[in-house]
Structure 1
């Protein structure tokens, strides 16, 4: 029986997403690390957009394995799913924490500037106002949002999960990210050349390739050009961006 697209307007077949995610999760199980590895959706376009754009994609499940709060004051109601860390942790976050979403009390100053090395040490940080009674729910909403940002080139990476996600949750995130990304890029699906899922050390597993592109053959994780594109894409995705005070959650 032929597989069907995830939605009437989608060109991604859910069966393809299920197979690719299952294969990637099996690989991650055989190559376990102290903290769950991130899972990326790689979006390859046929043509680079004329203008830079960024778009937030809302996922059904958080792509981060945990949420940490860096603060020297204990909130009145600290949720069970948020780990409290002292302000001193900002100077050197544990590797496991750097792969999670790190909330920082707005009264604290994030050290190290905005350099590449400093961003790598801090991980993904978001300022939070602990005086807001809804800060925890806003943080959970922020944890479900990822940004597709295109400034040049045709290949971009979006974090859509982690190795500890249940297979069905990972598939749901991948499908949601694909459909949202295809809906927001210029010319939509007509401009999508290929889609893959990948962890930092795995090969790129194909989800979709446009007819006539042969992307499933020339993008298998062994191409040095594709490796460089992925490295550049993930580096851009990992940069810590300044957010406005009301920046929690999707716009």
Structure 2
């Protein structure tokens, strides 16, 4: 009996990423904002997972333009790449978290922690007594979450408008490979991949053979807008 052929394992062409990144950064340059806009990888599956799915993807570079530390007592050896905020900033965490990754001294109480923390962006408690806290913070800044709760399209933050094109390309490629490796049935379940900023159209990166995902930009825009809008609505509810 002849063994069945292995399932095809498609790979995203790097040229497609370079084109999409270049086009999106040019669009963002002509539509500036007070803070660098986030950039998302949209992962559209053929079939939604039966159970809730969460996975952390590790990127080469932080997709956040800034790393903030909220503390009453600052460490003596504060790194140059970490900005400081007063503890009063905890009262406006949603607005602060949109600007970057927020580190909070573990001695301070984070408002709305636990079940109510959804929609507050990336807020990470840190132990400033640990000599390696800064490196741990940088590692946290490079991790993003891929979560599928319902539906088939989810947004993963992979960069921001102030990144260099080559940096964003590296992050997108790494995120695609990591996402395709961890979703149920891996590449066989990936229907389409797009790149998007909050107000831009969704730029196609990949479409599974036979799906026609790259041929209908209106569908791509609707899919991308749905995933990113879910994030924006959650943020507004917590302001």
- The TM-score, its normalising length taken from structure 1, stands at 0.83
Q: Determine the structure 1 residue equivalent to 2:192.
A: 194
User: Counterparts of 1:186 and 1:236 in 2: how far apart (Å)?
Assistant: 26
Say if 1:43 and 1:196, in contact at 8 Å, map to a contact too: yes
Q: Determine the structure 2 residue equivalent to 1:27.
A: 27
* Number of equivalences: 231
Q: Closer, same or farther in 2 for the Cα pair 1:194/1:142, shift >3 Å?
A: same
Residue segments in structure 2 that go unaligned for 5+ positions in a row: 1-8
Q: Tell me, what secondary structure is at the counterpart of 1:127?
A: strand
Q: Closer, same or farther in 2 for the Cα pair 1:11/1:157, shift >3 Å?
A: same
- Residues 1:128 and 2:116 aligned together: no
Select the residue among 184, 206, 230 that pairs with 2:182.
184
Write the mapping of 1:30-179 to structure 2, written as runs, cut at 5 A.
30-93=30-93, 95=95, 98-112=98-112, 122-179=120-177
Task: Tell me the alpha carbon deviations over residues 178-214 of structure 1, each in whole angstroms, 9 at most, x when there is no partner.
Answer: 0000011111111100000000000000000011111
Shift of 1:109: 0.7
User: Counterparts of 1:84 and 1:34 in 2: how far apart (Å)?
Assistant: 19
User: Counterparts of 2:97 and 2:165 in 1: how far apart (Å)?
Assistant: 23
Q: Determine the structure 2 residue equivalent to 1:207.
A: 205
Shift of 1:92: 2.2
User: Counterparts of 2:181 and 2:175 in 1: how far apart (Å)?
Assistant: 10
Q: Closer, same or farther in 2 for the Cα pair 1:68/1:221, shift >3 Å?
A: farther
- The TM-score, its normalising length taken from structure 2, stands at 0.87
Q: Closer, same or farther in 2 for the Cα pair 1:30/1:87, shift >3 Å?
A: same
Q: Determine the structure 1 residue equivalent to 2:6.
A: none
User: Counterparts of 2:220 and 2:179 in 1: how far apart (Å)?
Assistant: 25
User: Counterparts of 2:114 and 2:237 in 1: how far apart (Å)?
Assistant: 8
User: Counterparts of 1:179 and 1:36 in 2: how far apart (Å)?
Assistant: 25
Residue segments in structure 1 that go unaligned for 5+ positions in a row: 1-8, 241-251
User: Counterparts of 1:14 and 1:150 in 2: how far apart (Å)?
Assistant: 26
